Amino acid sequence: MTQSVNLLERDPDILRGATQLDSDPSGALLDELDLGEVGRTSLVEPGASDEALDPAGVAAPSEWGSLVGDLSRGRGAPSFRIHDRTHIEVAVDYRPRSGRAEDSFVWETYYFAPESLRLHSRTYEKSDLYADLQSYVRLEVPDVALGALTGAALEHLGAALESGDEKRAMRELRLYACMVRAAGVEVRDAIREGLAGGELARTEALASAAAMIDEVSRLNPALRARVARAGTLADPVRTGACWVEEDVSRLSETLLGSLVNLLRSARAPEALVERAESAAVAEARHRMEHGLGGVGRIGMGRRLLESLEFRRHVLKRFTASVLWLQPKIRPGSTWVLQFLYALAASVAMGFALVTATWSGFDAQSRGVTTWMFAAALAYAAKDRIKALLQSVFADVVSRHFPDRRWKILDRERDIELGEMDEQSGFVAWTDVPREVLATRRITRLHPLEEQARPETVLFHRKQVALRVDAMTDVDPRFTALTEIFRLDLRRWLANTDDPKRQMVFADPVEGVVASVNAPRVYNIAVVYRLRRDDAPDDAWHRARIVVSRKGIVRIEHLA
């Protein structure tokens, strides 16, 4: 397509609601779609060095909250990652078994926070937890290899554009961009791992890099040829095709650019590095020559950088909107709680009636004082009995009934894909399941540590029931749902000490007294698992979140 499409600056709403650009007021969707730029800091993994930390000793923002981590497919298990300075993020895949009309999953997490953080039911209410713990649900990207995207997937897109069905064409355009993104990122990450391995893995990674350059170089011309006819179609398809063409081109440029950095760092053959760099430059030149926009220049000013970043976010938000689902959330135990409150009121009123009957219904002049005293006592007791029973019933409901019930809908087709029951709260150490405690204690050297380092336990549980047949109705290519949890730790860190404390010590070798600024950190243990509803004995996993007053330092996966 050769016409200029600088429409982002002219009319961001030209797609008339099909893009759902304003459906995520929190801005989380933009964060989910951010593809890490060339040279951006990678995820902080177990055993990572402090090179990933900023000068304050806090972990640098990672790609995990970005498109790079979020659209990954085939995760073996959930894994806690760093999103930014105060946010922890984890993506959980709900993958139904084939041949079933429905399937159910349970996501369980226990946080063991040091008591010095002062987290308990009086300082951190359930509403605070749900304000800090946000989750977003989307369909998993269909599993198509990068080299196969010029085959059936592109034919599917072409058929949608030829059909004349506006909604179908818009969905296929956006979905194709998502498939390119997910497949390209998987190949790049595999190359990164191979380059860091042994000689055989390195040789295979270099071959994969050469194949990736060829596949990306074939993909973009094939896509342009397929969407060329969209230039004659009416909006929003015409503009949507231009946006997707630009987005895939920019994605290809970024993937190839990051590949150049990887190959140079690994001292790969210069000829291979030059091939990757030439392919990346070719994409930028194509957009510049055809007015597609989003072209960077060395030494560009701040305003242009801001414009490029804004454009990148909008394009990625637009394409990924085809995956995001719409939750409808309501209280999960309202009627149960109201029934029990009514029962408490009935019991209290019954006590008052019994007391009144025992005291008599008429206050005679000789016993008026006794009657008034009994009536006042009955009223006070009735009021306290009601309050006490309501408190007890609220605690019972909180422990045995869900706090919130979700309905997950496909936003564009209004099809219900499943339900989620969510529950959270503080739990006494003695009520923590035995298997959870055993997993928590794998790093403890002596039982006295539990007295020396007392902890408060906070749990979060989500039971998910998916309708596999409804997912098939949406699109048979979708075979799983992904939920992204993001926990904001800012309130957790409010009562932490200064991030550095001076330590004085004597060096027995040098024979002198010295001092040093030691980091003051706190360890938050996390025990978690994702299991199927019919597999109650699945193993638990353990992670450690190391934090300071300034934010998250690192995450360590221990089991």
Q: Are the C-beta atoms of residues 81 and 547 closer than 8 Å to each other?
A: no
Quote the pLDDT of residue 360. 57
Give the mean pLDDT of 448-460.
84
Quote the pLDDT of residue 543. 94
Percent of the chain, pLDDT > 70?
A: 74
Residues 484-535 have pLDDT tens digits of 999 999 999 998 888 788 889 898 999 999 999 888 899 999 999 999 988 8
Better-scored residue on pLDDT, 386 or 298: 298
Give the mean pLDDT of 111-132.
90
- Residue ranges of domains in the chain: 28-32+145-322, 82-140+403-557, 333-400
Mean pLDDT taken over the chain: 80
Q: Are the C-beta atoms of residues 413 and 337 closer than 8 Å to each other?
A: no
End-to-end CA distance of the chain: 51
Quote the pLDDT of residue 407. 92
Residues 42-100 have pLDDT tens digits of 223 333 333 345 545 666 544 433 444 456 665 668 888 898 899 999 989 999 988 88
Query: For residue 403, which amino acid is it?
Result: D
DSSP letters along 443-489, please? G-SSTTHHHHS-EEEEEEEEEEEEEHHHHHHH-TT---EEEEEEEE-
Residues 174-196 have pLDDT tens digits of 999 999 999 998 999 899 999 99
Q: 3-state SS of the chain: helix, strand, coil percent to 5?
A: 45, 20, 35
> What's the pTM?
0.77
Instruction: pLDDT band for 109, please (50, 70, 90 cuts).
Output: very high
Give the mean pLDDT of 471-484.
90
Better-scored residue on pLDDT, 77 or 352: 77
Quote the pLDDT of residue 374. 65
Length of the chain: 559
Asked if residue 236 has a cis previous peptide bond (ω within 30° of 0), the answer is: yes
Q: Is the pLDDT of residue 275 over 50?
A: yes
